[in-house]
Each structure stands twice: as C-alpha cells, then as structure tokens.
Amino acid sequence: MRNSLILGLGYLLVVALTALFLQDPAIFYTYAGIFGLIFTGVAAILTGSCVSGDRARANYWISTAKDRAARGKWATYCFMIGFPNLLLAAVVYFSSL
C-alpha cells in the first residue's frame, strides 16, 4: 500500500514540476484531477459501490472470499494512487480562483 501511495505522489510530483516549468497551474489541476478521477473511479468499480443492492448481493455470492480480498486489495491500491492527486488538484484549483 505504501508503494501505491509513493507511485501516486511521484506522478503528482512530475505534473507539479511540469506545471511549474511551464508556469501554468491549469496543467496541474487538469492532469492531476483526471488521473485522480480515473484511479478513484477504478477503485469504486472494484469495490462494487457503483451497482444496486441486488447486483451487489449477486456478486457477493458468486465470488469467492479470495476474489473479494484481491479486489479489495486492488481497490485500496487504486484509491491510494488516485486520492492524493484528486485532493491536491482540488486544492490548487480552488486556490487559483
């Protein structure tokens, strides 16, 4: 989990340095926001939070405990990559208004 957070922060650093070099904060919140939305969305899909109750129950009974644990692990990794990017993109966007 720590590696995924480092990966997300590394991407954030690359985008921040690019935005600083080009002196355009729009680059930062655009690319960091898109990256954050994609990985946070993948995490939401993997956890099954985007389906209705009957679909969630059906998915629960069809999958094994090992599959659910693996999906939960990948969802956590994706969330840890995407959330810092999404959070700092929002901070930069609202501070530049």
Task: State how far Cα 74 lies from the chain centre.
Answer: 11
Helix-strand-coil split of the chain, %, nearest 5: 90, 0, 10
* Residues 46/74, Cβ–Cβ less than 8 Å: yes
Number of neighbouring beta carbons within 10 Å of residue 57 = 11
Model confidence at 82, in pLDDT bands (50, 70, 90)?
A: very high
pTM above 0.95, yes or no: no
28: Cα separation from own chain's centroid: 16
Report which of residues 97 and 53 the model is more confident about: 53
Q: Which pLDDT tens digit goes with each residue over 60-74?
A: 899 899 999 999 999
82, burial (CB in 10 Å: exposed 0-12, middle 13-18, buried 19+): buried
